[in-house]
Amino acid sequence: MKVKSLLKKKVVIPVLALTIFFTGTAFKSDFFEIAKQIEIFTTLFKELNMNYVDDTNPADLMDTAIKGMLDELDPYTQYYNEQDVEASRINNTGDYTGIGASVRTAKDKLIIVEPYKDYPADKAGLKAGDEIIKVGNTVVADFKDDAGELLKGAAGTSVEVTYTRQGKTAKATIDRSEVDISAVPHFSMVDDKTGYVVLSKFTRSASKEVKNAIRELKVKGADKLILDLRSNPGGLLLEAVNIVNLFVPKGQLVVTTKSKVKKFNKTYYTQNEPLDTKIPVVVLINGSSASASEIVSGALQDLDRAVVVGSRSFGKGLVQRPRPLTYGTQLKITISRYYTPSGRCIQSLDYWNRDKDGNAVRISKDNYSEFKTKNGRPVFDGGGVMPDVDMTIVNNKSIIDAIVESNLVFDYATNYYYKNQGKDISDFTFSDADYNDFKSYLKSNNFTFETKTEKLLDKAIKSAKKEDLLNDISAEYSALTQRLSTSKNNAIDANKAQLQVLLTDEIIKRYVYREGLYEYYLKENPEIKKATSILSNTTTYQSYFRP
C-alpha cells in the first residue's frame, strides 16, 4: 500500500498537472498524442514498480526518466527539485545564508573551490582545495543526498567540519551568516581617465550595481570605461536590457525573442533615461561569456556603441523560463531564441539536428548569415559574438576543457600554493619551468584525453577484429597510435598560452583572493592593456565603428 500511495503522489498528480498545463497552451492541437503517451508511461511505471523482481525506488526512477527525456532536448531545459529551486533563487539574487564559499561536491567529500574573503569559511581558516569529509557527525561519504545541503543553515548557527589539507586532517567551526554575492565584485581606475568594471553575473541587482560603480568612477575622473564580461555565464535578461540602457537612449530596441508559442514573442526596449550615451566603452568577452553577456556585448556592438575585445563568446542564443510544477519543483524550459538589434541569433550549437553519435552540431561557418550594425558594419550570426578585436589564444578548446574538467588546473594550483607559501606574487609570472612542472603533473596524474580521431580509429579496429583483418593492419595501427600520442602532446604545448592564463588566475586567487586577481589584471592582463590603448586614442576608438 505504501508503494501505491507513493506512486499516486509521484505520478497521478503530476499527470493531472501536465494535463491542465497542456490544455491551456499551443500544444492543444497535439493533446491527444500527448495524453496517449502520458497514459502509456503511467501504466508502464505502475507495472514496473509493482511487479519488478527487486525493490524499486519510484522517486529515483522518475528522476532518471525525466532527466533522460530532457537530455534529448538541450542542456538548458532542466528539471529542478526543491533544492535546485532554492539554488536558482540564490543565483538570481546573490543572497543566501551559509558558510560563504563556493563548494564542489565529489563522491565522498566536499571540496572548497573558493572561500569568499572575510566570510565565515575564510574566517574559520578554510582555504581552496580543502576537502571536507565530515559535517557535524555526518560522514560525507555516507550521505546519500546532496552533501552540500549539510553546510546550509540559519544565520548565527554554527557547524563543525572535519577536513583534510595536504594529507593532514583538521577540524574547524564555521559560524554561518548572511552572504551577499555582489554582481560587481570589482571596480577601479586603470589610469587617471579610464574606469574598469567587472560584472560577474546578471542578478536582480546587476544593473544597479554597474550604474553605481560607473558613477563612482566618474567622480574619480573616469571619462572612458572598460566593462569586463569575461566568464560571465549570464542570468536575467531584463538586467541585460537595463545595462545596455546605461549607454543608449530610452526607447532603443535591445533584444527580440521568438518562440512557437505566440505569447512568448517579446521585444525588449530600453525603458529608462541613460546614464551616459557619450562615454567611450570597451566590452571584454571570452569563450565563457554567455547568454545575457552576449545580449549586452552583441547589442552594444550592433548599435556601434562599444568596441568588443577578446575572443568569440560562448554562443547561447536560447531563452529559458521556469514553469512551476507540483511539490515545489520546477521545469526550466527553453521557450525561445533571442535576436540582437541587427536581427542575428548567435546560437552556436544546433540541438535539433544532431550527428550520428547524438551530439549537437556546431553551425558551420559557411552557413553564417551577414547582418549590419547601425553604421553598416558586417556582423554574423551562428557562432557567438565575434569581437571587433580578436585576442584568441586557444588552439584546441577540447583539450583545454578536458584538462579543466579533470580539475588538474585547480589541484596543481593548490599544490603550488603549499609549496610556495609566503611567496610575493605582486609581479607573478607563471614561468616556463612552472609550465614544464605542470606538464609533468598531468603525466603523473595519468591525464588522458580521447580525440575524435581516436574514437573513430577505435571503431575501425573493432570492425577489423570482426572481419579478421587486425593482423594485416597491426603495424600501421601501432604507428598511427604513436603518432596520435605525439600529436596530443604537441596540442597541449600549442595551448600553452591559455593554460598559463588559467594556472596564473587560479594560483593568484590562492594568495590574494579574487579581489587581488582583479588588481593583478590591471597591471598584467593583455586584454585590459589593449582596451586601455584603444580608449586612449579617440581616432583609433572611432575607427572601429566605420563600415
C-alpha cell at 260: 512557437
Asked if residue 331 belongs to a domain, the reply is no
Measured in whole angstroms, how far is the alpha carbon of residue 343 from the centre of its chain?
Answer: 25
Kindly state whether residues 112 and 17 are assigned to the same domain.
no
Q: 268 and 199 in one domain?
A: yes
DSSP for residue 263: G
Q: Are residues 57 and 155 in the same domain?
A: no
- List the chain pLDDT tens, one digit each, 547 residues: 444 444 444 444 444 444 444 445 445 557 788 889 999 999 999 999 999 999 999 988 988 899 889 988 988 999 887 777 777 776 666 556 689 999 999 889 999 999 999 999 999 999 999 999 999 999 999 987 778 888 888 889 999 999 999 999 999 999 999 888 899 999 999 999 999 999 999 999 999 999 999 999 999 999 999 999 999 999 999 999 999 999 999 999 999 999 988 888 999 999 999 999 999 999 999 999 999 999 999 999 999 999 999 999 999 999 888 889 888 888 999 999 999 999 999 888 888 777 777 777 777 777 789 999 999 999 999 889 999 999 998 877 788 888 999 999 999 999 999 999 989 998 899 999 999 999 999 999 988 776 666 666 667 767 766 666 666 667 666 777 777 666 667 788 889 999 999 999 999 999 999 999 999 999 999 999 999 999 999 999 999 999 9
Give the cell for residue 118.
572575510
Say yes or no: 426 and 304 in one domain.
no
Residue 267, classed as helix, strand or coil, is strand
- By three-state DSSP, how is residue 459 classified? helix
Whether 226 contacts 300, CB under 8 Å: no
pLDDT of residue 154: 86
- 167 φ/ψ angles, rounded to the nearest 5 degrees: 85, -5
**Same domain for 202 and 67?**
no
Closest by alpha carbon to 97, among 174, 150, 176, 158?
Answer: 176
Distances (CA, A) of 284 to 210, 249, 297, 307, 333: 15, 22, 8, 9, 29
Same domain, 192 and 226: yes
- Check: CB of residue 276 under 8 Å from CB of residue 306: no
How deeply is 426 buried, as exposed, middle or buried, from its count of CB atoms within 10 A (0-12, 13-18, 19+)? exposed
Q: Please tell me whether residues 197 and 169 are part of one structural domain.
A: no
Same domain, 418 and 522: yes
| 279, 224 contact by CB (below 8 A) | yes
For residue 533, is it within any domain? no
Asked if 55 and 121 sit in the same domain, the reply is: no
Q: How many domains does the chain have?
A: 5
The residue segments making up the domain with residue 467 are 452-493
367 and 413 both lie in a single domain: no
- Measure the CA angle with vertex 81, ends 76 and 86; round to 5°: 85
Dump strand ranges (E) for 297-359: 307-310, 318-324, 330-339, 349-354
Exposure string over 206-245, b if 16+ CB within 10 A, otherwise e: bbebbbebbeebeeeebebbbbbbbbbbbbbbbbbbbbbb
CB 267 within 8 A of CB 256: yes
What amino acid positions are annotated as catalytic residues?
291, 302, 316
Q: Are residues 350 and 487 in the same domain?
A: no
Dump the DSSP string for 465-489: HHTT-HHHHHHHHHHHHHHHHHHHH
- pLDDT at res. 153: 84
